[in-house]
Amino acid sequence: MNISHHFDDATLMAYSAGSLPQGMALLVACHLHWCEHCRERVDATNAVGGVLLDDIEPVSLGEGALNDLLARLDEPEQELAKPVSRPSASAGQLPAPLAELVGCDIDELPWKRIGYGVRQVDLDLDGPGATRLLRISPGVSVPHHTHTGNELTLILSGSYNDEVGRFCRGDVADLDGEMEHQPLVDTDEDCICLIATDAPLKFTGLFGRLVQPFIGL
Amino acid sequence: ERRKQVRDEWSACLTRLAETRDKTEFARLFGYFAPRVKAYLLRLGMVDATAEEVMQEAMLLVWRKAHLFNRSKASASTWIFTLARNQSIDRMRRDKVQFYELPEEEPDPDHRDMGEHSVIEDRMQEAIATLPEGQAQVLHLSYYEGKSHSEIAEQLGIPLGSVKSRLRLAFSKLKAHWGEDA
Ligand SMILES: [Zn+2]
Ligand SMILES: [Zn+2]
């Protein structure tokens, strides 16, 4: 995969610190699955946590903490209830963390029309913001908007163009409030992307304000 | 220098634990890391009893997953930090969804004895100690207290963009020490 757009350092630090909302952490894990460059960067942002753990002032433990734990070491290990990823046509199409979560092919998802040329699936994860899959038809552009918080987009297939550049499969757009943009699908293929935010978007044009209640991102 | 030795020693100890499954090695690791892991969990806002419980779960994972520790990729401190962080996220999430991360790979046995990351982390530690106060503050709020960038912005009364640029500046100083000798 030829990836040319990656995360901001600050985003990977939040991922390592464990402070991203669930949907954004999912999106980061999906990109990491595809991107060796960012996997190496995460080794570095994790190391910040390791150094801080070394530096922390230790606290006293409950009485018998060590013995309690030693007694548990030989307990049979319960298999972690990890969802088994089902092999499907999309096995190579979706990154593993997302494939495990949705458990089906991309075309079998309950896509809902939310406006002209735009369909979505709300992944309904907990926490602030939203996590959605968007499927945008060729030639369609998402209304102009800015961001009150952070917005991460991972391209799963197809491509789009906006003020920042061209985004293809595997690329991420990592945007915050300073950026106003209007993505436009620029090939004859649907653009399918995963979008995670930690606050609502602000649509700027009239059309944007009209569709906001439907998109609700 | 002393710090680097300590860090190397714990990474070696964890590597030995993976090979020998010796409970006295585990008890040594526990003595150093458990009080730190619990301190970290308390800073994340857990009450004492919960922090104690989650620390126990994290340390149990250290025992069970020791064979996945890869010394060429991270120090013991970093590896245990990530386990503790994932446990805390699992605990704090209402719906118990796991932290999304990559599947761990079995390390290549030939690479178990490389210690270069402890050198780098040692330099990182020095760099953290010399960060300007504003940068150190956002770093601590993020890693120690698990605050999101928006929450930090609100707490400090500064724009979200400033939180991110402070983190970027801090990381670029730390990163300068990353990979030099690797
Ligand atoms: Zn990347
Ligand atoms: Zn946007």
Residues A62-116: tens digit of each pLDDT: 999 999 999 999 888 776 555 454 544 445 689 989 998 898 888 889 999 987 8
Let me know if residue A82 belongs to a domain.
no
Enter the ipTM.
0.85
CA of A28 to the centre of ligand 1 (A): 9
Give the pLDDT score at B112.
Answer: 45
Round to whole Å and give the CA distance between B118 and B110.
18
Q: What is the CATH number of the domain that holds A43?
A: 2.60.120.10
| Of A150, A148, A122, A144, nearest in space to A134 by CA | A122
B56 vs A69: CB contact, 8 Å cut-off? yes
Cβ contact B40:A53 at 8 Å = yes
Let me know if residue A6 belongs to a domain.
yes
DSSP letters, chain A, are --------HHHHHHHHHT-S-HHHHHHHHHHHHH-HHHHHHHHHHHHHHHHHHHHSPP-PPPTTHHHHHHHHTTSPPPPP-PPPPPP-TTTTTS-HHHHHHH-S-GGGS--EEEETTEEEEE---SSSS-EEEEEE-TT-BPPPEEESS-EEEEEEESEEE-SS-EEETT-EEEE-TT-EE--EE-SSS-EEEEEEESS-EEE-SHHHHHHHHHH--
Q: Is A192 on the interface with B (CB under 8 A)?
A: no
Question: Looking at the predicted structure, is the pLDDT value of residue A47 above 80?
Answer: yes
Let me know if residue A68 belongs to a domain.
no
| Of B116, B92, B29, B44, nearest in space to A47 by CA | B116
The residue range of the domain holding A111 is: 1-51+91-217
Question: Averaged over A127-135, what is the pLDDT?
Answer: 87
Question: Looking at the predicted structure, is the pLDDT value of residue A156 above 90?
Answer: yes
Round to whole Å and give the CA distance between A204 and A147.
10
CA of A151 to the centre of ligand 2 (A): 6
Let me know if residue A159 belongs to a domain.
yes
Let me know if residue A67 belongs to a domain.
no
Least confident of A10-19, B88-97, B128-137: B88-97
Let me know if residue A23 belongs to a domain.
yes
Chain mean position to CA B137: 18
Neighboring chain A residues of B159 at a CB cutoff of 8 Å:
177
**Residue B125 pLDDT level (bands cut at 50, 70, 90):** confident
Let me know if residue A214 belongs to a domain.
yes
First-to-last alpha carbon distance for chain A, in angstroms, is: 28
Beta-carbon neighbour count of residue B135 at 10 Å?
Answer: 19
Round to whole Å and give the CA distance between B5 and B118.
9
Angstrom CA distances, A75 to A69, A78, A172, B16, B83, stand at 10, 9, 43, 21, 19
Burial of A163 (0-12, 13-18, 19+ CB in 10 A): exposed
Where do the domains of chain B lie, and which CATH numbers do they carry?
Answer: 2-94 (1.10.1740.10), 131-175 (1.10.10.10)
Which carries the bigger pLDDT value, residue B175 or residue B49?
B49
Q: Which two tokens stand for residue B89?
A: 């996220």
Beta bridge partners of A153: A173, A195
Each residue's pLDDT tens digit, A191-205: 999 999 887 656 555
**Residue A3 pLDDT level (bands cut at 50, 70, 90):** very high
Does the reported pTM lie above 0.95?
Answer: no
Q: Is A76 on the interface with B (CB under 8 A)?
A: no
Residue whose tokens read 């089902």:
A86
**Residue B93 pLDDT level (bands cut at 50, 70, 90):** low
Q: What percent of chain A has pLDDT over 70?
A: 82
Average pLDDT value over all residues in chain A: 84
Identify the closest residue of chain B to A199 by CA–CA distance: B150
| Count of the separate structural domains present in chain A | 1
Identify the closest residue of chain A to B95 by CA–CA distance: A126
Identify the closest residue of chain A to B36 by CA–CA distance: A58
Let me know if residue A85 belongs to a domain.
no
Give the pLDDT score at A215.
Answer: 53
Each residue's pLDDT tens digit, B131-181: 999 999 999 999 999 898 988 999 999 998 999 999 999 999 887 765 544
